[in-house]
């Protein structure tokens, strides 16, 4: 729609007076309108036009987007320059009634009972972290020969409390009478006798689920009830996927998950990734490339560093999973276990400098030792672990170290890995390093000493050959010391 046509549209005028400008009482000046929620504005528009609320909300969204894309022919500014604020809050645990899966009441809003049904309490759900099977977090109580189950929060569970546990409900995969015969128990829970019979280990019998029948109020019945299985805490294994846990103490947080258990860092990472994908999916004319940015503000440095590290880990995990999928998809014959790491690394196509601890390790030493020394002496972290016998020897060693700070060697195993490092950045004697090409682990210790002429001589450890042709001198025993480099 053209700018002039949109400016004269009645809905655009109503939008400007509702979201943009207002008349100040007493002065009749135009001031900025107070922020308004989009659903509230849609209800006001529906009351004025008699149209449905959802239709009015869609019309407001369309007119706002059209106004942001329509530019003034002379100054180039949009008709509507609005900011849409969206507030996200952490969700609550899913609560359900104690009924079959296709009949039970499901809600994400905390409530004690089902609306208009006070006899039906709501139970919080916990989900298996491996397969997603849901469990009702309950507490069992017995009094005067009657047993019933009450709701409880999943975070209150700790190991060793038989009164707390979980109810398992499933019509398509119910818990059998003899789970060891039907193959529903983990293999580590079973023992095979000499005659071929299978039985449960004595140490695991107290953790076996118990078949019970319950009604909608949580009362345990002897018959004519809903079939369920009560699994006492701690959560020992999943009744659907059979993943077992040997830990019998502590909480079940690492085994079962609830929708309110996710932290802020995980939520921000997921939302940020979704926003970035939406920005990348926009057309070329919908939003300028410079404006496709995501800015995050926090109130302290600790939260900023925590979120940055969490998001980096999130991106790396997603990148690694994508590379693993691409490596498997591009190998129709399948990947063997010994080739997975190599194929994933090839799929990532990472440069050596992006993952190497010393990105300059593959670069040969500069032949201009003086030039290298002039660049390295500007660093404030330069140090030389020299143990001298006298002051004169110490001065000669320090003068030579400033003139040549680079040493080079070639790996004796692969003959292609070149190791080059300034003496100022190496560690003490016995430090462990790896070849940058074949990743062979080695320990570098270079011993050098002054000869009678004042020039140093050195020897490399077994398996490493120097690239430079250094003249050998007979060291003077009276002025001999050791510098260890790694």
pLDDT digits (tens, 9 = 90+) for 421-455: 444 333 333 445 566 666 666 544 444 333 334 44
Q: Is it the case that residue 403 has pLDDT exceeding 80?
A: no
Q: Is 385 exposed, middle or buried (0-12, 13-18, 19+ CB in 10 A)?
A: middle
Read off the pLDDT of each residue in 402-431 and give the average, rounded to a whole number.
45
Q: What is the pLDDT of residue 428?
A: 35
Closest by CA position to 136, among listed 247, 233, 46: 233
Q: Is it the case that residue 228 has pLDDT exceeding 90?
A: yes
Q: What is the pLDDT of residue 57?
A: 92
Torsion of CA 180, 182, 186, 192, to 10 degrees: 50
Higher pLDDT, 276 or 395: 276
Beta strand 256-257 with 406-411 is unpaired
Higher pLDDT, 82 or 404: 82
**Whether the Cβ atoms of residue 200 and residue 182 lie closer than 8 Å to each other:** no
Q: Which residue has the tokens 């894309």?
A: 69
pLDDT digits (tens, 9 = 90+) for 14-30: 988 888 888 888 888 88
pLDDT digits (tens, 9 = 90+) for 20-60: 888 888 888 888 888 888 899 999 999 999 999 999 999 99
Cβ-Cβ contacts under 8 Å for 370 (sequence gap 6 or more): 403
pTM attached to this predicted model:
0.53
Torsion of CA 199, 211, 140, 246, to 10 degrees: 30
Q: Is it the case that residue 122 has pLDDT exceeding 60?
A: yes
Q: What is the pLDDT of residue 216?
A: 94
Read off the pLDDT of each residue in 365-372 and give the average, rounded to a whole number.
40
pLDDT digits (tens, 9 = 90+) for 264-278: 777 888 888 888 889
Q: What is the pLDDT of residue 413?
A: 62
Per domain, the residue ranges of the chain are: 3-69, 95-257, 284-348, 359-479
pLDDT digits (tens, 9 = 90+) for 179-209: 988 889 998 899 988 888 888 998 888 889 9
pLDDT band at 362 (very low <50, low <70, confident <90, very high): low
Q: What are the angstrom distances between the C-alpha of 431 and each of 76, 438, 451, 457?
A: 63, 18, 27, 21
Find residue 352's DSSP bridge partners: none
Find the distance separating the first CA and the last CA of the chain, reported in whole Å: 69
Q: Is it the case that residue 292 has pLDDT exceeding 80?
A: yes
Q: Is it the case that residue 289 has pLDDT exceeding 50?
A: yes
**Whether the Cβ atoms of residue 107 and residue 115 lie closer than 8 Å to each other:** no
d(CA 243, CA 373): 60
Ordered DSSP codes for 414-461: TS--EEEEEGGG---TT-EEE-TTT--EEE---EEEEBTTS-EEEEPP
């Amino acid at each position: 729609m053209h700018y002039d046509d949109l400016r004269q549209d009645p809905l655009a005028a109503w939008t400007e007076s509702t979201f943009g400008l207002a008349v100040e009482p007493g002065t009749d000046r135009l001031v900025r309108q107070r922020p308004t929620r989009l659903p509230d504005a849609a209800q006001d528009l529906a009351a004025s036009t008699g149209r449905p609320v959802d239709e009015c909300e869609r019309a407001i969204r369309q007119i706002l987007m059209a106004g942001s894309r329509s530019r003034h022919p002379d100054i180039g500014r949009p008709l509507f320059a609005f900011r849409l604020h969206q507030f996200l809050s952490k969700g609550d645990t899913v609560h359900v009634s104690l009924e079959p899966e296709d009949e039970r009441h499901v809600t994400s809003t905390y409530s004690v009972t089902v609306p208009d049904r006070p006899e039906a309490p709501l139970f919080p759900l916990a989900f298996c972290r491996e397969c997603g099977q849901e469990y009702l977090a309950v507490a069992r109580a017995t009094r005067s020969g009657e047993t019933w189950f009450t709701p409880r929060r999943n975070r209150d569970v700790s190991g060793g409390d038989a009164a707390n546990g979980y109810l398992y409900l499933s019509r398509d995969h119910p818990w059998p009478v003899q789970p060891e015969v039907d193959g529903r128990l983990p293999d580590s829970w079973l023992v095979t006798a000499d005659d071929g019979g299978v039985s449960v280990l004595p140490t695991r019998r107290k953790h076996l689920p118990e078949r019970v029948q319950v009604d909608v109020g949580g009362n345990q019945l002897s018959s004519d009830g809903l079939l369920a299985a009560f699994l006492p805490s701690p959560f020992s294994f999943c009744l659907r996927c059979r993943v077992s846990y040997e830990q019998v103490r502590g909480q079940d947080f690492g085994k079962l998950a609830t929708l309110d258990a996710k932290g802020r860092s995980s939520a921000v990472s997921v939302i940020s990734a979704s926003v970035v994908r939406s920005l990348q999916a926009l057309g070329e004319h919908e939003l300028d490339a410079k404006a496709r940015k995501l800015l995050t503000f926090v109130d302290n440095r600790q939260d900023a560093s925590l979120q940055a590290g969490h998001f980096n880990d999130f991106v790396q995990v997603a990148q690694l999973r994508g590379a693993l999928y691409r490596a498997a998809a591009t190998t129709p014959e399948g990947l063997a276990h010994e080739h997975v790491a190599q194929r994933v690394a090839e799929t990532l196509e990472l440069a050596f400098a992006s993952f190497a601890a010393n990105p300059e390790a593959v670069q040969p030493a500069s032949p201009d030792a003086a030039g290298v020394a002039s660049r390295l002496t500007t660093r404030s972290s330069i140090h030389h672990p020299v143990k001298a016998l006298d002051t004169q020897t110490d001065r000669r060693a320090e003068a030579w170290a400033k003139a040549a700070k680079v040493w080079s060697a070639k790996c004796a195993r692969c003959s292609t890995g070149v190791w080059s490092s300034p003496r100022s950045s190496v560690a003490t004697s016995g430090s462990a390093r790896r070849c940058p090409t074949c990743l062979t682990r080695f320990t570098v210790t270079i011993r050098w000493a002054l000869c009678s002429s004042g020039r140093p001589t050195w020897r490399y450890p077994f398996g490493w050959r120097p690239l430079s042709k250094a003249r050998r001198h007979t060291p003077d025993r009276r002025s001999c010391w050791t510098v260890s480099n790694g």
